[in-house]
C-alpha cells in the first residue's frame, strides 16, 4: 500500500513538472514593436526593433523620462535567402527569442515593394505569433533606415508610427490606415489593388534621430512623416499618389472621418476653413451603351466653420449658400484628382471591380480579362452636396466686425 502511494506521488509530480518543460521567461523574449523588410526574393534583409524593458521602466529616453541616456528600443538586422532563413539567422547575434505578438507596424522597403510582397505576406500569415491587425507602411528608401530612427516624445517608435497612422485617419483622412489583412484582402480581390501610406524623412540631420540624446532637445531638424500613398497592383508597387490625390481616394472609398477644407474666395481676398464631420459617399458603377460610368454622390451632412475672413454676413442664407458651393467645388476637385490618378495608373484602387462582380457577374466575366485597364475608358459623374449646419458661435468674421467698427 505504501509503495502504491509513493508511486502515485511520483507520477503526479512528474506530470506537473512536465508542464513547465518548454516555458520561456519574459526576460528571454525579444518583444518586437516594429519589423522592416528590405531586398527581394533570394536576398532578404529583415530588421527588428525590440523593446528594452529596463529603459521603459526607468523612464529613460521617452516622454515620461527624466533625461535618461538609454533608448527604449534596440534594432538589428539579419540576412537570408528567404525571410524565414533571415529570422533563423537572427539567433546568431541576438540572445533573445523574437516575439511578434506586440508588433505595432510593418515597414516595407521601396525595393521590396516594387519587386513584390507576396513572400512577405505568405511568411506573415504562417507565423502564429504575428497579428493581421498590424499596420503597414512603405519606406521611401530602405526600411531599416527608418527603424533606426527615434520619434520624440514617444519611447517606442513602432507604436508612435502606428499612432500617427491612426490619428491621420481620424483627424484628416488624407491617408488610410492599412493593416496586413486589409492589404492582403485588397490585392487578392477582384479589383486587385490596395493603397499603403508611404513614409519619408524630412530635414538634413537625420542621424541625430538615432541617439537617445534627441529626447533632451526641444526640437529636431529631421522628422519622419507620411508623405504619400503607395499604390499596389497585385503584389507589386506601381506608383505613388500625393496628398490631394489620396484624399480623393478617401472620398471615393467612403473613408472620410474628419477632414479640413481650406479655400479662397473667387477674388482671392478672403480665406475660409471648413470642417467635414460626417460625410457619406456612394459610388455606383452604371452600365452605359459602350462602357461603365462611375456615379458618385457625396453628402456632407454636418459641416462646421473653423475660421473665415469673409466680409459677408453669415446670418444671411444666400451668403452661407455661397460658402457651401465653394466647399462643394473643392471636394469635387479632390475626387476628380483621385480618379484621374487611378485612371493614369490604370489601377482599381476604388474597388469598382468588386462592385461590378457582385452586381453583374456576367458582365464581370466579360470584363475580367481586361481589368483594370478598362478603368481608363470609364467616365465619372460627381454630385456633391454640403450642408453647413454649424457656422460657429461667432456669426460674423472678425474682419467684418472690425470693418463695421471703422464705419
pLDDT in tens, 149-175: 988 888 899 999 999 999 998 888 999
Say whether pLDDT at 67 is over 50. no
Tell whether 352 is covered by a domain: yes
Check whether residue 228 and residue 258 sit in a common domain.
no
Decide: 382 and 295 in contact? Cβ < 8 Å: no
- At residue 391, the pLDDT reads 64
- pLDDT surpasses 90 at 269: no
From 194, 218, 241, the end of a domain falls on 241
Q: Is residue 157 part of a domain?
A: yes
In this prediction, residue 64 carries a pLDDT of: 45
The H or E element spanning position 98 is strand 97-99
The domain boundary, picked from 207, 241, 275, lies at 241
Distance of CA 72 to the CA centre of its chain: 24
Q: State the pLDDT at residue 66.
A: 43
Beta bridge partners of 224: 201
Give residue 114's pLDDT. Answer: 96
Is 367 inside a domain boundary?
yes
Are 274 and 373 members of one domain?
yes
Residue 249 lies in a domain: no
Average pLDDT over residues 195-202: 94
Helices (H), 95-210: 110-115, 118-126, 143-147, 157-171, 180-187
Structural domain that includes position 386: 254-407
Residue 290's pLDDT is 78
Mean pLDDT over residues 11-36, rounded?
68
Tell me: do 42 and 99 sit in the same domain. Answer: yes
Residue 268, domain member (yes or no): yes
As a whole-number percent, the residues of the chain with pLDDT over 90 amount to 45
Give 287-331 pLDDT, tens digit per residue. 987 789 999 999 987 777 777 777 677 777 888 888 888 889 999
C-alpha cell at 94: 541576438
User: Could you tell me if 280 and 354 lie in one domain?
Assistant: yes
Q: What is the pTM of this model?
A: 0.86
Question: Is position 395 within any domain?
Answer: yes
Q: Is residue 12 part of a domain?
A: no
Selected residue with higher pLDDT from 191 and 265: 191
The conformation of residue 155, written as its DSSP 8-state character, comes to: S
Residue 122 shares a structural domain with residue 269: no
Interval 350-355 mean pLDDT: 94
Output the pLDDT for position 86. 86
- Shared-domain flag, residues 226 and 89: yes
Q: In terms of domains, do 198 and 293 share one?
A: no
Same domain, 234 and 275: no
**Could you tell me if 80 and 130 lie in one domain?**
yes
CA distance 329 to 338: 14
3-class DSSP assignment, residue 321: helix
What pLDDT sits at residue 382?
96
Residue 37: φ, ψ to 5°: -120, 125
Q: How far apart (Å, rounded) are the C-alpha atoms in residues 303 and 262?
A: 13
Give residue 41's pLDDT band: very low, low, confident or very high (50, 70, 90).
Answer: confident
Q: What is the CATH number of the domain that holds 271?
A: 3.30.300.210
Q: Is the pLDDT of residue 129 over 80?
A: yes
Asked whether residue 210 falls in the same domain as residue 263, the answer is no
pLDDT at 348: 95
- Residues 109, 193, single domain; the answer is yes
For residue 1, what pLDDT is reported?
59
15 in a structural domain: no
Domains contained in the chain, number: 2
What the block records as the C-alpha cell of 209 is 534621430
Nearest to 51 by CA among 87, 27, 84: 27
* Rounded Cα distance, 52 and 290, in Å: 62
Query: Both 66 and 166 in a single domain?
Result: yes
Domain-ending residue, one of 241, 262, 282: 241
37 burial level (CB within 10 Å; 0-12, 13-18, 19+) = buried
pLDDT computed for residue 27 by the predictor: 66
Amino acid at each position: 500500500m505504501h509503495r502504491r502511494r509513493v508511486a502515485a506521488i511520483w507520477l503526479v509530480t512528474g506530470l506537473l513538472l512536465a508542464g513547465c518543460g518548454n516555458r520561456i521567461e519574459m526576460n528571454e523574449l525579444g518583444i518586437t514593436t516594429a519589423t522592416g523588410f528590405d531586398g527581394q526574393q533570394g536576398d532578404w534583409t529583415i530588421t527588428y526593433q525590440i523593446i528594452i524593458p529596463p529603459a521603459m521602466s526607468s523612464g529613460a529616453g521617452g516622454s515620461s523620462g527624466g533625461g535618461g541616456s538609454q533608448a527604449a528600443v534596440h534594432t538589428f538586422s539579419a540576412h537570408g535567402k528567404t525571410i524565414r532563413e533571415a529570422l533563423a539567422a537572427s539567433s546568431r547575434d541576438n540572445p533573445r527569442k523574437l516575439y511578434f505578438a506586440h508588433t505595432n507596424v510593418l515597414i516595407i522597403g521601396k525595393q521590396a515593394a516594387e519587386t513584390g510582397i507576396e513572400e512577405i505576406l505568405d511568411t506573415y500569415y504562417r507565423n502564429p505569433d504575428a497579428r493581421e491587425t498590424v499596420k503597414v507602411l512603405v519606406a521611401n528608401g530602405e526600411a531599416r533606415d527608418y527603424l533606426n530612427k527615434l520619434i520624440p516624445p514617444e519611447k517606442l517608435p513602432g507604436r508612435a508610427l502606428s499612432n500617427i497612422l491612426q490619428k491621420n485617419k481620424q483627424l484628416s483622412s488624407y491617408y488610410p490606415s492599412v493593416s496586413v489583412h486589409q492589404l492582403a484582402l485588397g490585392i487578392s480581390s477582384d479589383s486587385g489593388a490596395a493603397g499603403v501610406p508611404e513614409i519619408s524623412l524630412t530635414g538634413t540631420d537625420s542621424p541625430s534621430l538615432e541617439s537617445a540624446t534627441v529626447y533632451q532637445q526641444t526640437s529636431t531638424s529631421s522628422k519622419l512623416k507620411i508623405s504619400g500613398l503607395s499604390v499596389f497592383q497585385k503584389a507589386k508597387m506601381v506608383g505613388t499618389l500625393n496628398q490631394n490625390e489620396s484624399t480623393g481616394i478617401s472620398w471615393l472609398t467612403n473613408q472620410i472621418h474628419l477632414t479640413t477644407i481650406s479655400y479662397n474666395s473667387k477674388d482671392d481676398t478672403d480665406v475660409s476653413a471648413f470642417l467635414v464631420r460626417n460625410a457619406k459617399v456612394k459610388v455606383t458603377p452604371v452600365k452605359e451603351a459602350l462602357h461603365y460610368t462611375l456615379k458618385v454622390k457625396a453628402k456632407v451632412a454636418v459641416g462646421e466653420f473653423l475660421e473665415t475672413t469673409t466680409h459677408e454676413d453669415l446670418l444671411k442664407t444666400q451668403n452661407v449658400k455661397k460658402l457651401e458651393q465653394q466647399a462643394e467645388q473643392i471636394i469635387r476637385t479632390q475626387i476628380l484628382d483621385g480618379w484621374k490618378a487611378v485612371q493614369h495608373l490604370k489601377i482599381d484602387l476604388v474597388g469598382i471591380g468588386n462592385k461590378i462582380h457582385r452586381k453583374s457577374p456576367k458582365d464581370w466575366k466579360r470584363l475580367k480579362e481586361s481589368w483594370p485597364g478598362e478603368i481608363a475608358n470609364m467616365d465619372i459623374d460627381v454630385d456633391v452636396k454640403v450642408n453647413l449646419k454649424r457656422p460657429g458661435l461667432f456669426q460674423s468674421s472678425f474682419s467684418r466686425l472690425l470693418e463695421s467698427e471703422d464705419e
